[in-house]
Amino acid sequence: MSRFLHSMIRTTDPEASIRFYCEGLGLKLIRQKDYPDAKFSLYFIGEDENGPMVELTHNHDDRTYSNGDQFGHLAYQVKNIYDTCEHLQNMGIQILRPPRDGRMAFIKDPNGISIELLQEGEALELKAPWNDMENNGSW
Amino acid sequence: MSRFLHSMIRTTDPEASIRFYCEGLGLKLIRQKDYPDAKFSLYFIGEDENGPMVELTHNHDDRTYSNGDQFGHLAYQVKNIYDTCEHLQNMGIQILRPPRDGRMAFIKDPNGISIELLQEGEALELKAPWNDMENNGSW
């Protein structure tokens, strides 16, 4: 049996990515490893030392990356999807698929990685302004 | 605080993907949801009901997908990286980055998603034929 450790994603802006996952989603920067000679840094972000993480890889140059569609998204469960989406909006993060159904929302991280937010337990009661908010773009 | 649920990846061949993650990596098909009207199926694969999973999405048509490089890989910890790689090889899965160091290997899933295998605990002692095996392609 294998044990899942992390999803690795490449970031061109570690500061923005750390803000997104930590301040935005409430996760913690568990550890950082800098390899100045090889010119890259790794940032491991999760709930705690032993749980699943995102590994952010930052190459110290100006290369850019592309998002394919074979990989879809990372999904996180949240305590209150309306509060989470309001908090993210207040940080300037666009809610691409608003939680009209009180259950599911989609956003993107600063590198265009699609993130699904799912309400813990039963869907919440429908609530303005979310219940009739339009989609924005794709996710 | 958000809780990580799953990484979603799209598959064009669910049977091959399930074989890879279940028979290959020793994970379990936790649940399957079929949506015949919307023409897609979902397969959730992990260690158990409550842990992190891979969500395989299979659209019931012949569309294909592309792998970008913003998303990097999924990483799994294994009990014995040599035994795991030998098992995978016997299944016909190519070891792209052999565990020369007794610690790390890379393979790809049937849809070209890069998978990192990491030895639990300390690196194992170097061992033939792995210690001088060449890399194959990219990962």
What CATH topology corresponds to A6-59? Answer: 2,3-Dihydroxybiphenyl 1,2-Dioxygenase; domain 1 (3.10.180)
- At residue B1, the pLDDT reads 86
pTM: 0.96
Our answer to whether residue A122 is catalytic in this structure is no
- At residue B122, the pLDDT reads 98
Any A CB within 8 A of B59 CB: no
Domains B6-59 and B73-132 share a fold: yes
For residue A17, give the nearest of A68, A69, A54, A52 by alpha carbon.
A54
What CATH number belongs to B73-132?
3.10.180.10
B111/A70 Cβ within 8 A:
yes
B97 contacts in chain A (CB < 8 Å) = none
B9/A70 Cβ within 8 A:
yes
Q: Is A53 helix (H, G, I), strand (E, B) or coil?
A: strand
Please give the mean pLDDT across all residues of chain B.
97
Any B CB within 8 A of A50 CB: no
Q: What is the mean pLDDT of residues B47-60?
A: 97
Task: Encode pLDDT of B55-98 as tens digits.
Answer: 999 999 989 999 999 999 999 999 999 999 999 999 999 999 99
- Mark the ranges of chain A whose per-residue pLDDT is less than 50: none
Domain boundaries, chain B: 6-59, 73-132
A10/B70 Cβ within 8 A:
yes
8 A C-beta contact, residue A14 and residue A41:
yes
- At residue A1, the pLDDT reads 86
Tell whether the model's pLDDT for residue B127 goes beyond 90. yes
- Strands in A53-59's sheet, in edge-to-edge order, are A28-35, A40-46, A53-59, A3-10, B71-78, B114-119, B104-108
Interface mutation target, options A21, A44, A50, A70, chain B, most CBs of B under 10 Å: A70
The residue annotated as part of the active site, out of B47, B49, B55, B116, is: B116
B117/A7 Cβ within 8 A:
no
What CATH number belongs to A74-132?
3.30.720.120
Long-range contact set of residues B20-24: C-beta below 8 Å, sequence gap at least 24: B20/B93, B20/B109, B20/B110, B21/B45, B21/B54, B21/B56, B21/B109, B23/B91, B24/B87, B24/B88, B24/B91, B24/B93
A47/B3 Cβ within 8 A:
yes
